[in-house]
């Protein structure tokens, strides 16, 4: 049985990864180690030298938050649930798009906050302080543009002793154009944006889920169809609201 272990050491100039593999097939020779950051960006750390089913090797990366993927693919550029891998580390803390069907693919993303990109990207505040803590409240959604005809549920659960959980479930999700994604944003009362997650859909009638959390005491929710970025862009395709 193959075994893999990676020891992570934080240094002043980056992160050292000490990789220790054993029990690999005797003919195993072509494996490559990648770091995947919380935004889904894949960085190759280097090829792994294997001898007699064993590999002991050290790598460096400037990243301080990542997951590791050991793959036979020498040109891996994206990570998806169906990516071929020999070993994979635990997904790091952060916010994740979790595909619920085999045709949907998602990316790991972290929450990032930015000042208002444009006053055009606004959403009504949901008055989260009025929600019962520990209970889930379903938010109404208004769909436009590319998501007209789809079904989306927003559920908000303010925790009693922690951040507020936000879950967005997409049903009959339509294709996002090449190079674009459906991005979920929390909008603060002072018009700052927190990126909660994103999903790229690759087939008809797919389902996907974004499960995230925020420390904002009140916020609105919107989804844009846009290229990857840290501020809203493109078209608003979903807006959350509490009243008609």
Q: What is the 3-state secondary structure (H, E, C) of 109-143?
A: ECCCEECCCCCCCCCCCCCHHHCCCCCCEEEEEEE
Phi, psi of 146 (to 5 degrees): -65, -20
pLDDT in tens, 87-145: 887 644 443 333 333 333 344 344 444 444 444 678 899 999 999 999 999 999 999 88
Which of 46-55, 81-90, 130-139 is modeled with the greatest confidence?
130-139
Name the residue with tokens 């959403």: 123
Which pLDDT band holds residue 202 (cuts at 50, 70, 90)?
A: low
Structural domains for the chain: 3-92 (2.60.40), 98-241 (2.60.40)
> Nearest-5° angle of CA 83, CA 150, CA 196?
55
Name the residue with tokens 């916010």: 95
- How high does pLDDT run on average in the chain? 80
In this predicted structure, what is the pLDDT of residue 208?
Answer: 84
In this predicted structure, what is the pLDDT of residue 105?
Answer: 38
Better-scored residue on pLDDT, 66 or 221: 221
């Amino acid at each position: 049985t193959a075994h893999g272990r990676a020891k992570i050491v934080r240094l002043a100039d980056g992160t050292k990864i000490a990789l220790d593999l054993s029990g690999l097939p005797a003919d195993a020779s072509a494996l490559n180690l990648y770091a995947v950051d919380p935004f889904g960006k894949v960085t190759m750390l280097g090829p792994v030298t294997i001898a007699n089913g064993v590999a002991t090797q050290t790598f460096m990366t400037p990243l301080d938050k990542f997951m590791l993927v050991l793959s036979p693919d020498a040109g891996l550029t994206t990570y998806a649930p169906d990516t071929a891998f020999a070993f994979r580390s635990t997904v790091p803390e952060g916010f994740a798009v979790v595909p619920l069907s085999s045709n949907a693919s998602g990316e790991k993303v972290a929450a990032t906050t930015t000042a208002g990109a444009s006053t055009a990207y606004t959403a009504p505040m949901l008055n989260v302080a009025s929600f019962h803590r520990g209970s889930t409240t379903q938010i109404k959604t208004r769909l436009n543009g590319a998501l007209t005809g789809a079904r989306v549920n927003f559920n908000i659960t303010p925790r009693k002793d922690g951040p507020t959980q936000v879950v967005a479930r997409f049903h009959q999700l339509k294709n996002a154009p090449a190079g674009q994604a459906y991005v979920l944003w929390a909008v603060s009362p002072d018009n700052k944006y927190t990126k909660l997650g994103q999903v790229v859909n690759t087939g008809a009638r797919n389902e996907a889920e974004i499960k995230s959390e925020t420390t904002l005491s009140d916020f609105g929710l919107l989804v844009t169809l846009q290229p990857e970025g840290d501020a809203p862009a493109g078209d608003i395709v979903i807006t959350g609201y509490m009243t008609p």
